[in-house]
Amino acid sequence: MNFDSKTVYLIDGSSYIYRAYFAIPHLSSPTGFPTNAIYGFTQMLLKVMKDRKPSHVAVVFDAAKKTFRHDIYPNYKANRSAMADDLAPQIEPIKEVVRAFHIPALELPGYEADDLIGTIARDCEKKGMSCVIVTGDKDLMQIVTEKVTLLDTMKEKAFGIEEVKERFGVSPERVVDVLGLSGDTSDNIPGVPGVGEKTAMKLLDQFGTMDELLARADEVKGKTGERLREFADQARLSRQLATIDVTVPIAYDLDCFAVSAPDNKRLGELFKEYGFHTLAKELTSSATLPTDQYRMVLTREELEQVVARLKDAPSFAIDLESTSLNPREAIIVGFSVSCCRHEAWYIPVGHDYPGTPEQLDAEQVMEILRPLLTDPRIHKIGQNVKYDYQLLRLAGIRMDGIWCDTMLMAYLLNPGRSGQGLDALALEYLDHRMISYEEVTGKGKDQLNFSQVPLERAMPYACEDADATYLLHELFLPQLKESGMESLFNETEMPLLEVLAEMELNGVKLDLPLLRELSDGFGAELARLEGLIHEHCGGPFNINSPKQLGEILFGKMGLSVGKKTKGKTGWSTNVEELERLAEEHEVAKLLLQYRALSKLKSTYTDALPKMVDPQSGRVHTSYNQAVTNTGRLSSSDPNLQNIPIRTEEGRNIRRAFIAEQGCLLLSADYSQIELRVLAHLSGDRVFCDAFANGEDIHQRTAAEVFGLFPQMVTPEQRRQAKTINFGVIYGQSAFGLAKELGIPSKQAKAFIDHYFERHSGARAFLDSCITEAEVAGYVTTLLGRRLPIPDIHSKNPNVRNFAHRNAINYPIQGSAADIIKRAMIVVTRSMAEAGLKSRLIMQVHDELVFEVPLAERAAMEELVRTGMEGAVPLKVPLKVDLNFGANWSEAH
């Protein structure tokens, strides 16, 4: 369909609200207010405005539950359940968003949105205007005419007269006859029992109209004829209920529907309140930082003047522009610095394009900046300053005096934020829209490398980065102090930054021939599994196609049907479904093996060799310090934290991580650290006594749960006790524990009840975590890290229960993360003080891996044990398992 640009668009707001709510999973604002419907509705509204660019638009809502149709038929919509608890509070904010867009939000008590839409559409038609109704509601097809069309933006489908005929088999004005005969279960419109849409369409095709059909019902054979005669009045009532009233007494002015500029200030306030930072950037932000004090530095004299200013300042922000995000591949293009508000300098050293002005020599600039950058007394500020540190380190300068990283400050203040990038932070805290990278480099195949960007475009972009970073650090410092996380930031997160930077630069050596051998072996095993799967399924098909697999398993083989894949036709064949089917059929077990092995092959044995740096001959992962909600580190490119340890294939991959010649790998792994943290935080007497006496905590738990002497505990009972111990930390339910142990829920509940009878201290602590979250909105770790629990008061039981589990888990997991971070700092400092050549090369959850020269084996064993076990004093002893080996698997 082609729509006139002057067409009036009427958006079915009530339909959009429900579609948005069910289309988007749970979202909440920083304060815990539900926002998924608000966000989805806003996105859908924006899509219409961007794609269709209407000249006139209004959004129409249902006013209340009771309408004139309830007077006609009291059971109208009586079968509808109450609005979801977390949707109801989003209705008024949605209308606020509409009004902030300067779009009329229409409603009228006693009438439904459909009636208002029908009335306005007919009015537009009388005035010779076209009207597009944006909706997914089939009932509105009855008012389609040459001038009135429907648009379903979710399906990207338009409905004119011909499309309505295709959908209902009748012209638009006869749609109400179909609805009168077939009824509508969603609105509790009864229709004629036993007559569905297809039957109604067939009857109307034969008789023309419902009135004619009912008048000649004697001509209809069988049960259908009987029901038409018996329920004729009910059919007429149903048609009346389904008919849209196009004569609603609503006052409006079509001129007020004319599109105008939105109220960006109000939208910005709303988007900030609800945490819609991307929308805020796209729609409401503007450049607010003054740029008249941004300067280019092109001469030695100018550079020396800048250096003198920086030396006299108590701190300065620094940001490097380069040719690549990978520091090992990047070449420094320029330096931007700022030591006071709204004043910044850009020192280009590597721009190269036709007509480039003369720049200072890169090596000369490095030497002039070196004393400044390496002076620990001069405080440096950066945004993701680990990258800048690594660039300088590779250029021969070890930056010292790194004081503040605004990314880490923002992360501590709000670890749940979806991103800690400078653009988002400037928007949220400075109300400033940063110049985007694409604005200066372009995008797509024509995108420039930053070295090719003209200086007049590069200078404001680079200076803005330094200026915004300086401004943010001023804002964040008092907030960190107020939150009680100043010492955590200064003593843990900032020192760790340099440790991680060095770890990444160190990298780890790989046994490439072994990886090739493993990849070949995995390939052969995958081929074998594929053959077995095809054999079970009666022939070849694409195992990696969920659609084909679902058709084979549930259609052809007739296995018990699981849940449907949401939003798609076909069946779900995810891991959960295959695990369920594995109890029923061998093919599901084979499919699980196939998928696990295929992932290992593609993610590790095939991918790792391609990631080896040609200069170092080692693979260099990135450790992400500002991503997880709990403070744990994550690893990417490659992810070294997901290589399985319990499977033979995973252990074989770990064999490929090797030490340099003349060295060994040392694996230092905290033993049961989260249970020890629980013991410390809770003061639970049983836990504390067991750890103080060096007992096997899982064996002791098994003895308590099963009522046995410790020496009578079987390996299987110990395994069950281990599951219970860690399940408690994660707030696991009896149902979850039963599923994991393969036992009845009643037995699992008995295990948990008996467990908490013995561990009353742990129970009291876990309950207190939920209380802390309910009162404060956050929980805290051993070192004072605040972990927000925004959904703790959610009215959605599933969301609230998840928040309860997080309130229990976060303090323990976060404290364990704090401890290993402190251990990394303590151990690396001790290594440096002792002048050792050993290197920390990996961190994987509770494990540190070192590359140790043979001559330093004894020294490192003592140093690492002492440093890790004494990293943070606890009421119970921290225990570290140490092992050496030529490869990671052997060391572990």
In 3D, which of 840, 438, 878, 853 has the Cα closest to residue 692?
878
The set of residues, in sequence order, having a beta carbon less than 8 Å from that of 123 and lying 6+ positions away, is 254
Mean pLDDT of 98-118: 92
* Residue 326 lies in domain: 287-483
pLDDT score for 379: 97
The set of residues, in sequence order, having a beta carbon less than 8 Å from that of 659 and lying 6+ positions away, is 509, 665, 851, 852, 886, 887
In 3D, which of 34, 787, 805 has the Cα closest to residue 415?
787
pLDDT score for 734: 84
Looking at the domain assignment, is residue 734 inside a domain? Answer: no
Residues 103 and 162 in one domain: yes
- The burial class, CB within 10 Å (0-12 / 13-18 / 19+), for 262 is middle
CB 130 within 8 A of CB 3: yes
pLDDT score for 810: 94
**Residue 473 to residue 832: CA distance in whole angstroms:** 30
pLDDT band at 3 (very low <50, low <70, confident <90, very high): very low
**Residue 698 to residue 706: CA distance in whole angstroms:** 12
Question: pLDDT tens, 119-169?
Answer: 999 999 888 889 999 998 888 999 999 999 999 988 888 999 999 898 888
Task: Enter the DSSP assignment of 491.
Answer: I
Question: pLDDT tens, 375-394?
Answer: 999 999 999 999 999 999 99
Lowest mean pLDDT among 587-601, 617-631, 689-703, 720-734: 720-734
CATH number for position 399: 3.30.420.10
Q: What's the token pair of residue 93?
A: 């904010």
SS3 244: coil
pLDDT band at 2 (very low <50, low <70, confident <90, very high): very low
Of the residues 483, 499, 531, which one is the last residue of a structural domain? 483
316 has which bridge partners? Answer: 380
CATH number for position 109: 3.40.50.1010
The set of residues, in sequence order, having a beta carbon less than 8 Å from that of 546 and lying 6+ positions away, is 565, 570, 572, 573
Residues 467 and 542 in one domain: no
Lowest mean pLDDT among 138-142, 292-296, 623-627, 830-834: 138-142
pLDDT band at 530 (very low <50, low <70, confident <90, very high): very high
Residues 362 and 402 in one domain: yes
pLDDT score for 284: 67
Residues 293 and 439 in one domain: yes
Looking at the domain assignment, is residue 107 inside a domain? Answer: yes
CA angle, 640 then 646 then 652, to 5°: 65
User: pLDDT at residue 301 above 80?
Assistant: yes
**Residue 20 to residue 41: CA distance in whole angstroms:** 5
Question: pLDDT tens, 174-229?
Answer: 998 988 888 888 888 888 888 888 888 888 888 888 888 888 888 888 888 888 88
Please state the φ and ψ torsions of residue 148, each to the nearest 5 degrees. Answer: -120, 120
User: pLDDT at residue 872 above 60?
Assistant: yes
pLDDT band at 4 (very low <50, low <70, confident <90, very high): very low
Q: What's the token pair of residue 143?
A: 């008012």
Residues 360 and 318 in one domain: yes
User: pLDDT at residue 5 above 60?
Assistant: no
**Residue 283 to residue 299: CA distance in whole angstroms:** 40
C-alpha dihedral, 759 to 766 to 413 to 390, nearest 10°: 40
**Residue 257 to residue 703: CA distance in whole angstroms:** 74
Looking at the domain assignment, is residue 641 inside a domain? Answer: no
Looking at the domain assignment, is residue 471 inside a domain? Answer: yes
The separation between CA 673 and the C-alpha centre of its own chain, rounded to angstroms, equals 27
SS3 274: helix
User: pLDDT at residue 512 above 70?
Assistant: yes
pLDDT band at 863 (very low <50, low <70, confident <90, very high): very high
Residues 355 and 251 in one domain: no
pLDDT score for 570: 61
Domain total for the chain?
Answer: 3
Looking at the domain assignment, is residue 423 inside a domain? Answer: yes
Lowest mean pLDDT among 63-67, 97-101, 610-614, 870-874: 63-67
Residues 473 and 598 in one domain: no
**Residue 58 to residue 102: CA distance in whole angstroms:** 9
pLDDT score for 563: 56
For the chain, the helix, strand and coil percentages under 3-state DSSP, each to the nearest 5: 55, 15, 35
pLDDT score for 189: 87
CATH number for position 603: 1.20.1060.10
C-alpha dihedral, 86 to 92 to 98 to 102, nearest 10°: -160
Looking at the domain assignment, is residue 466 inside a domain? Answer: yes
pLDDT score for 81: 77
Question: pLDDT tens, 395-430?
Answer: 999 999 999 999 999 999 999 887 899 998 998 888
CB 246 within 8 A of CB 119: yes
Lowest mean pLDDT among 557-561, 713-717, 768-772, 862-866: 557-561
Q: What is the mean pLDDT of the chain?
A: 91
Percent of the chain with pLDDT over 70: 98
CB hemisphere CA count around 533 (13 angstroms): 22
Question: pLDDT tens, 746-793?
Answer: 888 888 888 888 889 999 999 999 999 999 999 999 999 999 999 999
Residues 474 and 526 in one domain: no
Residues 19 and 158 in one domain: yes
**Residue 93 to residue 158: CA distance in whole angstroms:** 29
Looking at the domain assignment, is residue 820 inside a domain? Answer: no
Residues 456 and 524 in one domain: no
Lowest mean pLDDT among 38-47, 572-581, 600-609, 876-885: 572-581
Sheet arrangement for strand 508-510:
618-619, 508-510, 657-658
pLDDT score for 719: 87
CA angle, 111 then 114 then 119, to 5°: 85
Q: What's the token pair of residue 782?
A: 């051993």
- 745: part of which helix (H) or strand (E)? helix 745-758
pLDDT score for 564: 54
Of the residues 456, 483, 510, which one is the last residue of a structural domain? 483
Question: pLDDT tens, 630-679?
Answer: 999 999 999 998 898 888 999 999 999 999 999 999 999 999 999 999 99
Token pair 């760790």 in the structure block, residue:
496
User: b/e map of 844-872 (b: 16 or more CB within 10 Å)?
Assistant: bebbbbbbbbeebeebbbebbbebbbebb
Residues 302 and 252 in one domain: no
Of the residues 588, 619, 650, which one is the last residue of a structural domain? 619
User: pLDDT at residue 568 above 50?
Assistant: no
Token pair 């008995």 in the structure block, residue:
750
| pTM assigned to the model | 0.85
The set of residues, in sequence order, having a beta carbon less than 8 Å from that of 574 and lying 6+ positions away, is none
Residues 529 and 459 in one domain: no
Mean pLDDT of 230-256: 89
Q: Are strands 622-624 and 618-619 parallel, antiparallel or unpaired?
A: unpaired
Give the residue with greater pLDDT, 827 vs 710.
827
CB 510 within 8 A of CB 656: yes
In 3D, which of 629, 790, 797 has the Cα closest to residue 28?
790
Omega of the bond prior to 638 within 30 degrees of 0, cis?
yes
Looking at the domain assignment, is residue 828 inside a domain? Answer: no
